[in-house]
Structure 1
Amino acid sequence: MGVGPAPRPWPQDPRLDPQLLAQGDRRNVLDRYRYWSVEAIVADLDARRHPLHIAIQNWEHDFNIGSIVRTGNAFNVAGVHILGRHRWNRRGALVTDRYLHVYHHPDVASFAEYCRSEKLEVVGVDNLPGSVPLEVSSLPERCCLVFGSEGNGLTPELVAACGQLVAITQYGSTRSMNAGAAAAIAMYHWALGHAAGADAGGVSTPVSAQAARGIAG
């Protein structure tokens, strides 16, 4: 994965990281971001963040949190909110949290206040009584999709803070699906309504190794 040291002379581009240029870039990033510093990548993503936020309750040491964060990076969400414990399992995120804005809220009340101040509608994603099927729901453009911990789902306090509840229709025998998978489906559904046709920001087609090394552009 990635590319080796960049051929000299190096371009005079402030976005490029001299250490990556010298040693190679093995990160899991798009080709357009090869050799860019983390700060430069974040600045570029900030210029075109989607108004979607996601929130995850962190009451348990749940591996799914990292997976949800990684999906949030893929959809370039405006913010990721961790409710509850400050420390969370980052292994599944595969360092993608470096390119996101991650916020911590010690309780539901502080999270709900943040959403009110930012005019974000809180949308709970869980197969609870009263939930509307996601596939027939019209999610607000400015919203925060909220996911509970694996197994327990959303807490009653967080459900009370939600403006609406949606659920993913299932057709098999299991009562619920993996939280990370549910989050990916929900973010994709939001994107169909609010991001379809927008600039994908450099999702690249396969290129040759030589082209990937040619960083001037």
Structure 2
Amino acid sequence: MPEADGAGEQVGVGPWSGGSPPDDPRYDPELLAHGDRRNVVDRYRYWTVEAIRADLDARRPPDRHLHVAIENWAHDLNIGSVVRTANAFNAAGVHIVGRRRWNRRGAMVTDRYLHLHHHPDPAAFAAWAAHADDGARLPVVGVDNVPGSVPLEGRELPARCVLLLGQESSGLTPEAQAACDVVVHITQHGSTRSLNAGAAAAVAMHSWALQHA
């Protein structure tokens, strides 16, 4: 189905009009014939989902890659937003910890281009992280303003790591915090107790990208 922008208007391009269609297996014949209305950058116009995912994987340096994990215990609408941001920063994987089902609407179909994983609880997630990177441990960086957390600003993040985020209302569970090598918080200057979970995820991913992307 065609994708739409936030205002409900179609995005993208119509059917291929540049002469003979390209003879390239990365291109989708259906999209070439009927147009590509997906929310993708121009580089990937008319490409198949599989070709886009493969190209994203190839562009990710093996010594610098980011995973993103989200606890999912309640019906948190922010998960879709986190997934969409993970796609924007070319995350190597997105991990749902807890309930398998999550609200995909905010992802704007970007989950198609990501490697999605499920872990039933923080213990299973920690077991995965212990051998996630070709047998090597992947450091876990929690993002939450809990007691004992340290400021994200100015902190060097590992070039290979997984950011672990909690629920909008309750934050990281104690079990999830125990799985973290460190928990960082985003320094705030107003009256609200916490940032929106989707916004916090975007800030944390951007901080990693400034250092390593």
Q: TM-score, normalised by structure 1?
A: 0.88
CA shift for structure 1 position 11 = 1.3
Number of residue pairs aligned between Structure 1 and Structure 2: 195
More helix by percentage: 1
Give a deviation string over 1:81-116, Cα, whole Å, max 9, x none. 000011111000000000000000001111001111
Is structure 2 residue 69 aligned with structure 1 residue 59?
no
Counterparts of 1:191 and 1:2 in 2: how far apart (Å)? 27
Partner of 1:27: 38
Q: Out of 84, 88, 100, which is 2:114 matched to? A: 100
Q: CA RMSD in A?
A: 0.8
Partner of 1:70: 84
Q: Out of 112, 115, 130, which is 2:148 matched to? A: 130
Within 5 A, what are the aligned runs for 1:64-213?
64-118=78-132, 119-195=137-213
Counterparts of 1:177 and 1:45 in 2: how far apart (Å)? 29
Gaps of 5+ in 2: 1-10
Give the 3-state SS of the residue equivalent to 1:52 in structure 2: strand
CA shift for structure 1 position 32 = 1.0
CA shift for structure 1 position 51 = 1.1
Divergent runs of 4+, >3 A: none
Q: TM-score, normalised by structure 2?
A: 0.90
Is structure 2 residue 22 aligned with structure 1 residue 4?
no
Gaps of 5+ in 1: 196-217
**Which structure would you say has the larger RCO, counting Cα contacts within 8 Å and 6 or more residues apart?**
1
Counterparts of 1:165 and 1:86 in 2: how far apart (Å)? 24
CA shift for structure 1 position 6 = 0.5
Counterparts of 2:188 and 2:36 in 1: how far apart (Å)? 41
Give a deviation string over 1:126-147, Cα, whole Å, max 9, x none. 0011111000211111111010
Counterparts of 2:25 and 2:89 in 1: how far apart (Å)? 26
Give a deviation string over 1:167-194, Cα, whole Å, max 9, x none. 0000000110100000000000011111
Give the 3-state SS of the residue equivalent to 1:136 in structure 2: coil
